[in-house]
A and B are shown apart, each in its own frame.
Chain A
Amino acid sequence: RKEVEQDPGPFNVPEGATVAFNCTYSNSASQSFFWYRQDCRKEPKLLMSVYSSGNEDGRFTAQLNRASQYISLLIRDSKLSDSATYLCVVRNNNDMRFGAGTRLTVKP
């Protein structure tokens, strides 16, 4: 079993839609959690950290459920520019593990 698992998608949604991505992790001692986005043939870029109380940044909302070892990302009012691959990341001490990513395509 992979340490960090994501639905690979692809998710194809129309502009303005709300879309949610899920991620599960296997190490219950994991300490920090993040979402990254990666555009085609580019480096990953930090989208947001994920806190236990949940957190929001504009149209993006991240949730963490430690009991279920589950992380989510909600994107509201999708834009064409949101098309990318979204990576779930979990830190265990000095080791950061990445999920394989969920691909999102937002269509006009």
Chain B
Amino acid sequence: NAGVTQTPKFQVLKTGQSMTLQCAQDMNHEYMSWYRQDPGMGLRLIHYSVGAGITDQGEVPNGYNVSRSTTEDFPLRLLSAAPSQTSVYFCASRDGQNVGYTFGSGTRLTVV
């Protein structure tokens, strides 16, 4: 099993550009989430999904959109990139309420 796969691993964007961060999992997990990690702030939840067709906002959703058309895929869209969105983005999935997340290897995004 590949687990949670994120692409790309690195990306540089110009302010105002849009892009989609891809996330796919092959473990048939219902729950998927996107986090961003900034120095000294820990991981902060952007959006999450409890199953195909269902998404909800997390702690820091502004500037991001998500969709969950299949169980496997949970892409994160940056609508108009801003320097404040420079961060490391992690996608994660879990199977059930009382288990921990499995994380992808992350996307390092720089907005200039």
Q: Within 8 Å of chain B (Cβ to Cβ): is A91?
A: yes
A44 with B41, Cβ < 8 A, contacts A34-B100, A94-B48 known: no
Q: How far is the CA of A97 from the CA of B40 in the complex (A)?
A: 14
A96 with B45, Cβ < 8 A, contacts A43-B90, A43-B105 known: yes
Q: How far is the CA of A46 from the CA of B50 in the complex (A)?
A: 20
Q: Within 8 Å of chain B (Cβ to Cβ): is A73?
A: no
Chain A positions within 8 Å of B40 at CB level? 8, 100
How many residues on chain B are close to A (CB under 8 Å)?
A: 25
For A98, give its contact among B42, B56, B105 (CB under 8 Å): B42
The answer to whether A99 and B33 touch across the interface, beta carbons within 8 angstroms, is no
CB distance from A87 to the nearest CB of B (A): 7
Q: How many A-B residue pairs have CB under 8 A?
A: 53
The answer to whether B45 and A97 touch across the interface, beta carbons within 8 angstroms, is yes
CB distance from B38 to the nearest CB of A (A): 10
CB distance from A73 to the nearest CB of B (A): 14
Q: How far is the CA of A49 from the CA of B94 in the complex (A)?
A: 13
Binding site for A on B (CB under 8 A): 31, 33, 35, 40-45, 48, 50, 56, 58-59, 90, 97-106
Binding site for B on A (CB under 8 A): 4, 8, 31-32, 34, 36, 42-46, 49, 87, 89, 91, 94-101
What 5 pairs between A and B have smallest CB-CB spacing? A100-B42, A43-B103, A46-B100, A98-B43, A98-B42
